[in-house]
Structure 1
Amino acid sequence: GVTDANPLPGDWIGEMWGAGRRFGGCVIDGGRLYWFLCAKGPADGKDSDTRAALTRATAEFPDYVRQAVKDTPVSAIRRDDIRDRPPVTQWGRGRTTLLGDAAHPMTPNLGQGACQAIEDALALTDLITEYGPTSDALRRYERFRQPRANAVVKAAHQIGRIAHWSTPTGTRVRNTLVRLTPASVLVRQLRASWRLPQTTS
């Protein structure tokens, strides 16, 4: 959702994990608040009363979260399903191939969906430039990109599963592990995620 009535600081960006739910977002142009709420639910499900569903889903979050959601017009709220699939090892055959979500759909838990598509495009461009628009170039692209892209698919899926633990014991364990994780580990993971690999012949 997007709301003009932003109860959060002007530079806020973040994500909060609850029991089986997550709330996050950031301040965007003009001080408006973009927010998201992730919760388990039936695929293609529709709530007859969006406002009531959101009130229930945000009950455990701080007052300012509930206020932000309450102040968002229903017309500015969009519901989408999040889907992925286990990684596959064949992206194409002959003179066809796939890239981006068509090759490796992933959940948004690491913010890497578009990033991996851009990396695909760069690798594909490099290899076609070197080998021409040939089947060999496409297979080289697939062999180069699959390990990294598929690892991100798996990691994003796993983060989503952990973030949505909902039992009291599970959430306590998760929250303790997150709290005890050294900042250096997170920095190392971020650097690995954002380092652009070089194609090799």
Structure 2
Amino acid sequence: MQEKINLGLRFLLIILIVLVGSIISVRLWSGKAEKIDAPVDLVINENMTIAEIGKANKLENIVLKIAFGLRSKEEMKKKLADFDLTVEQAASKIQKSMALQSEDASKNWVKIVVKFGLWFSFLIFMFVMMKKKKVSTANRSWFYFIAVMIFGVMLSADPSPMGTIKDNFALFGAYHVLFPPRIVAFVVMLIMVILANKFICSWGCQLGTLQDLIFRINKN
């Protein structure tokens, strides 16, 4: 009975640490929420200049620059008809540009550099440790705990393999556009899955790592 009580207390302690740590982490790292906005109806016609389109739809110049490939401010004075685009084509280009800018604005790039650097370093370290058979029953739980605390709590559940896959498909489904950093992350994760099989599910996925940690506590 005492053993079961101790097991339950350890489980509750881990959950409490994860919850409290996550709340603190969100307050420290939180920025603009990452979400994919639904396409909006644009005010646009062939006789409007690019500047007028931007003003009518409250668009940033960078959005217009990307959408129409503008190379100077003077081109903002050109009419839509001068770009040999239909209203539908122009609207599609603007929507895609808006989606990319929204994705970029939602990112904390300092956090991204830190988290991926730590994540790759940790995965390489664990891969080498396992290849050398230095991951024992005694230290495995501690490695899991460290992974959960760093990537599941301190860095707010990032990087997220499944989140990256989901966001790639969601963005493409809504705007038929791909956000380059997500594609890079997606390809890297696919390569890791191919090379290391289920390794990423156990050590690179925060939920999988937490599940394995709880399993090890129960098993031990």
Q: What TM-score results when the alignment is normalised by the length of structure 2? A: 0.26
Higher strand share: 1
TM-score, normalised relative to structure 1 = 0.27
Q: Which has the larger radius of gyration?
A: 2
Q: Could you say which structure has the greater relative contact order, defined with CA pairs below 8 angstroms and 6 or more residues apart?
A: 2
Relative to total residues, which structure has the larger helix share, 1 or 2? Answer: 2
